[in-house]
Amino acid sequence: MIRYYILIGGIALISWLVSNKLKSKFKKYSQVHLRNGMSGAEIAEKMLADNGIRDVKVISTPGMLTDHYNPSNKTVNLSEGVYNQRNAAAAAVAAHECGHAVQHATAYQWLTMRSKLVPIVNITSSMSTWVVFGGLALGAAAGVGFGYYVAVAGLVMMSMATIFSLITLPVEYDASNRALAWLKNKNMLSQEEYAGSEDALKWAARTYLVAAIGSIATLAYWALQVFGGSRD
Ligand SMILES: [Zn+2]
């Protein structure tokens, strides 16, 4: 059990460091004001229009780093700062969320798969750890039948969250790539502004990478407990 807390603590520490770095990067690039004077909302509107998307609305949503694309009502939701401000960080986020809208409009397969997994993961992730734990309590590690099957069922449930976190990676990297390609091709930003947007998006992607690695590590730990970790 102590190794589990070290693992969880290590992952929590790394994800805290990366999200802190992300926040400081966003703060830094919020100071890089756009020469074209466009707000995040205006950039989003233009990117959607340039991609021939006319049925997606750009709206403002409260909070910080709350930006997201909602496929169910086709809205690009930008946090107040991103919606109103005219800087490299806002441009990056606005274009990234539009990248998701373009994925949706073009039925990008990883996004489709991710959307299908959402209702499953919502159910499994809340109880998978308890099911594995219950199976172990019932004697899974000793190879006792019923407990073993309960634990394996728990691991399968747990792996849904891991698969979800892995599928999230191409979805997020692709949205950023679409955003950066558009910003570059349409000459939206100066060289310095573009470099800032690129760096901000790179750090945003790293938070998803850390989450995926954490999910794999957690799954591996519990699999080891079920399939023989207790024998060492
Ligand atoms: Zn995204």
Ligand 1 center from residue 147 Cα (angstroms): 39
DSSP per residue, 41-107: HHHHHHHHHHTT--S-EEEEESSSS--EEETTTTEEEEEHHHHH--BHHHHHHHHHHHHHHHHHHTT
Residue 50 within any structural domain of the chain: yes
Ligand 1 center from residue 210 Cα (angstroms): 15
Q: How confident is the model at residue 77 (pLDDT cuts 50, 70, 90)?
A: very high
Residue 72 within any structural domain of the chain: yes
Axis-axis angle for helices 191-227, 109-137 (nearest 10): 30
Ligand 1 center from residue 175 Cα (angstroms): 6
Residue 232 within any structural domain of the chain: no
Q: What is the pLDDT of residues 191-223, one digit of tens each?
A: 999 999 999 999 999 999 999 999 999 999 999
Residue 207 within any structural domain of the chain: yes
Are 15 and 214 spatial neighbours (Cβ–Cβ below 8 Å)? yes
Print the domain residue range for 53.
2-226
Are 84 and 189 spatial neighbours (Cβ–Cβ below 8 Å)? no
Confidence at residue 232, expressed as pLDDT on a 0 to 100 scale: 44
User: What is the Cα–Cα distance from 119 to 169, expressed in whole angstroms?
Assistant: 19
Residue 23 within any structural domain of the chain: yes
Q: Total structural domains in the chain?
A: 1
Residue 151 within any structural domain of the chain: yes
Q: How confident is the model at residue 229 (pLDDT cuts 50, 70, 90)?
A: low
Are 224 and 132 spatial neighbours (Cβ–Cβ below 8 Å)? no
Ligand 1 center from residue 51 Cα (angstroms): 17
Evaluate if residue 98 carries a pLDDT over 90: yes
Q: How confident is the model at residue 78 (pLDDT cuts 50, 70, 90)?
A: very high
Q: What is the pLDDT of residues 127-151, one digit of tens each?
A: 999 999 999 888 876 666 888 999 9
Q: Which residues are catalytic?
A: 97
- Ion ligand 1 residue ranges (Cβ < 5 Å): 172, 175
Q: How confident is the model at residue 186 (pLDDT cuts 50, 70, 90)?
A: very high
User: What is the Cα–Cα distance from 228 to 222, expressed in whole angstroms?
Assistant: 10
Strands (DSSP E) contained in the chain are 57-61, 68-70, 75-79
Q: How confident is the model at residue 4 (pLDDT cuts 50, 70, 90)?
A: confident
Residue 231 within any structural domain of the chain: no
Evaluate if residue 231 carries a pLDDT over 60: no
Evaluate if residue 1 carries a pLDDT over 90: no
Q: What's the whole-number mean pLDDT along residues 76-93?
A: 97
Extract the tokens encoding 23: 């926040």
- In the block, which residue shows the tokens 């790293």? 206
Q: What is the pLDDT of residues 31-63, one digit of tens each?
A: 999 999 999 999 999 999 999 999 999 999 999
